[in-house]
């Protein structure tokens, strides 16, 4: 059971585990955390409610220009791009690599990128349609072949500026050219991938490409905005008709963000073990000894502003840690609610020690572990 839960939450968690033990964990894990845990919500970040009317970021910018301007440039804002607008492919008009018996090539010209795979005898060539990921770690491509969506077997990685095997792709020798080119995505794969990388593209568990807005936009987290815009223009905001995740308590917010970043419940139901789960920040955070489901100082929003780029300078997070922890030599003052012990080792750069980075095999990127803890030299990765 995760650390930091209160007595009632532990009991609820036990009931959940017992109740779900008779259900396929993979089917449960695929469910949206908001659907499973918060039926009171009439909207979910990965699914448009029936009859939802979206207005787009331009309408939001009329009242919230600063937030829209910065959010559009974040990795979330650019989580999905049409290949015709993909800056990485434009900057690398020819990308090639060879893996085993197969050669891979992406050629970009005139706003069109063509993906070609060959073993010297058989060749498969298809235009790429979508670029997933902004390239902070890497970028993976999706194309259609014989009417189905496929995930490219190779991805672009920022550290090498080259193509390499997509994270999670099979390293065994492909049986045919189709397998060598990519992984056929099931209808659920397609729905879930697009739902977390775009806005308004899923309704009633169906993908609706004609409604898709690339990237996680304002309405990707705040919900469809037509009623809110109408209320604002009428000056009738007693009911704002918009969802504000910032008003959720710490546990609900963790599950809200976990809709895409994987909640504690989702990862437990998937029975993932090992370093692969370092990518799932809400899950790792909930494993922290200091996690408190009711304390806003340990929530996702305490450290990260989703409207801005993620801060990478360690000193920025010192004040976040000191919202709970004492400074060395400081006397606890109950009135300030800062009673957690002081670090005996350092006064700054807390996260460099207590939130170590791990590189997944083949991931070409070091992920920050959100399991906040005292890290001892040589200890195995905790899960």
pLDDT number for residue 109: 97
Structure token digits, residue 112: 């069109």
Question: What residue ranges in the chain does DSSP mark as E strands?
Answer: 80-82, 94-99, 102-109, 112-118, 123-132, 138-145, 148-152, 154-157, 162-165, 182-184, 198-199, 202-203, 206-207, 213-214, 357-359, 366-368
Report the distance separating Cα 296 and Cα 133, nearest Å: 29
Q: What are phi and psi of 145, to 5 degrees?
A: -145, 120
| 140 beta partners | 132
pTM: 0.86
pLDDT number for residue 19: 30
Question: What residue ranges in 119-204 does DSSP mark as E strands?
Answer: 123-132, 138-145, 148-152, 154-157, 162-165, 182-184, 198-199, 202-203
| 131 beta partners | 81, 141
Residues in the chain: 383
Selection from 179, 147, 175 nearest residue 165 by Cα: 179
Low-confidence ranges of the chain (pLDDT < 70): 1-44
């Amino acid at each position: 059971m995760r650390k930091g839960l209160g007595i009632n939450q532990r009991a609820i968690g036990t009931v959940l585990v017992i109740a779900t033990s008779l259900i396929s964990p993979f089917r449960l894990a695929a469910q949206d955390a908001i659907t499973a845990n918060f039926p009171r919500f009439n909207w979910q970040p990965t699914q448009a409610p029936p009859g939802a009317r979206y207005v787009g970021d331009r309408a939001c910018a009329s009242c919230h220009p600063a937030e829209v301007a910065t959010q559009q440039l974040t990795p979330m804002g650019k989580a999905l791009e049409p290949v015709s607008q993909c800056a990485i492919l434009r900057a690398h008009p020819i990308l090639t690599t060879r893996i085993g018996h197969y050669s891979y090539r992406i050629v970009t010209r005139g706003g069109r990128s063509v993906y070609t795979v060959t073993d010297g005898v058989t060749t498969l060539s298809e235009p790429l349609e979508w670029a997933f990921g902004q390239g902070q770690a890497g970028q993976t491509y999706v194309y259609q072949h014989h009417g189905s969506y496929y995930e490219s077997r190779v991805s672009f990685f920022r550290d090498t500026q080259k193509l390499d095997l997509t994270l999670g792709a099979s390293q065994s020798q492909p049986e045919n050219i189709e397998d060598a080119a990519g992984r056929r995505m099931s209808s659920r794969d397609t729905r879930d991938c697009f739902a977390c990388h775009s806005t308004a593209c899923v309704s009633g568990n169906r993908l609706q490409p004609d409604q898709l807005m690339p990237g996680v936009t304002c309405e990707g987290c705040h919900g469809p905005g037509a009623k809110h815009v109408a209320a604002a223009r009428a000056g009738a905001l007693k009911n704002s008709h918009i969802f504000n995740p910032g008003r959720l308590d710490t546990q609900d917010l963790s599950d809200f963000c976990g809709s895409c970043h994987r909640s504690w419940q989702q990862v437990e139901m998937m029975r993932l073990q090992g370093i692969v789960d370092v990518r799932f920040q809400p899950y790792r955070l909930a494993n922290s000894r200091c996690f408190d489901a009711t304390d806003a100082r340990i929530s996702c929003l305490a450290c990260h502003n989703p409207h801005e780029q993620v801060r990478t300078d360690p000193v920025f997070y010192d004040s976040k840690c000191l919202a709970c922890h004492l400074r060395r030599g400081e006397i606890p003052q109950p009135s300030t609610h800062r009673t957690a012990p002081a670090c005996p080792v350092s006064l700054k750069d807390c996260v460099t020690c207590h939130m170590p980075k791990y590189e997944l095999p083949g991931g070409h990127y070091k992920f920050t572990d959100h399991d906040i803890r005292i890290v001892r030299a040589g200890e195995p990765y905790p899960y």
